[in-house]
Structure 1
């Protein structure tokens, strides 16, 4: 168990780890209660790095201001999926977009509302799961997710089908996830995190459980090929897969991300796709 999340684990009664299958409903419940319980500690630890109105794609520090993976967002209606406290959505608003932030966690959206009030940058916020988007077809000109929702939903193909449904033609869908090869290593930023202990091809979810066996946290593994097949199957055109290198002078650890590991292998994969 992680000392970084001890408060959430104590609140939820987490007692151990189980490697077992988890369906869509159990994944939704587990991650809603987890992010509600961890929201305060998460923002206390990472809030300064993420900013109140900044679009940071990943722990390597890639910013949309520099990368422009979404292109020109002026006047576009943009859906941010798994928005957390919504700093990306507020940055998009400042850039002239019309963003909507979506997250499954009321705790995260509470931080989003507080940050909106503090910055004076108001964006609409919706509580829902990424595989059950409560929007009409063709509602958005673009969609994005910076480490939100995608790894925590049981059926990633359903997520992509839902995103495809709500996007208009020629709309970008760009999302960042932990790089699939990280699954083979222990979740450790130090030397222990350099030794392979798991099969890359084992898709069994990582599940934390309480004393009754109820899931309190769920994360799903997909290979690079799994992501590409699901995207193509949903009707997206895959334009690029960005694997950010660890930047010189960046000494911050973030969970399993660290300068030690980042200099040897990628920690993030950013998929840049588009509707036809």
Structure 2
């Protein structure tokens, strides 16, 4: 399959060990062009090692990787030219000015975009002479994104880009990620924030112990692994036939409060049944397990 027509990133049976420790034991996933793929996992799950291997920053011990059809082991220079990255440990000297940083990075890549153009695009023009150490967290993230895009790469890797940022700066960073994708780039986003994953990612890969334990969109993961859903409402009378409604596994009452447990589109099914039998409660509410609940269950962190 050619790089032009194939996925932007393809990882098959990736392995990477350090002595007796398997940082990545068996990881496979692909990223479609123009997609934002989120990589979730606790510390030590293998997230950073995986993205470092696909950027030709580490040499894997097994498996295959292709970035736009290019093998990072055989052609590390070509892959680095295809990928723009903001790594978890990204930093710059405190006294380096914004304009100087962009000019320096642009000088390293022939044919790079104009530093002035990047500053205008990412709202950095007024900060041209501002030292890195004097930037706010959100401003630093804007600069890192601009640096990652200096050579207009088709693939962008963002590793824990919002760690340590305040809520306002995190929102700014999210908007930056969406803008990167809107420009046509494919984004690999490593994060451990569930709200970030739900807001930004088309699909997720969940790692635990150096292996992939689940893949799918945020909604698909919740539907597939969340277990039972609860629908609650108030009603003191009889509830004919409710227990036999498709998807319902239990009906429990406590005074006027009714709790219906089950699976699938439970709220729609319960509401339809109640209206059919002439009951129209005004307080129907649904509680579904969250993506965080699913993540904790998948990675074994939700058990004592």
Taking structure 1 as the reference length, what is the TM-score of the superposition?
A: 0.30
Q: Relative contact order (alpha carbons < 8 A, sep ≥ 6): 1 or 2 greater? A: 1
TM-score, normalised relative to structure 2: 0.28
More strand by share: 2
Larger radius of gyration: 2
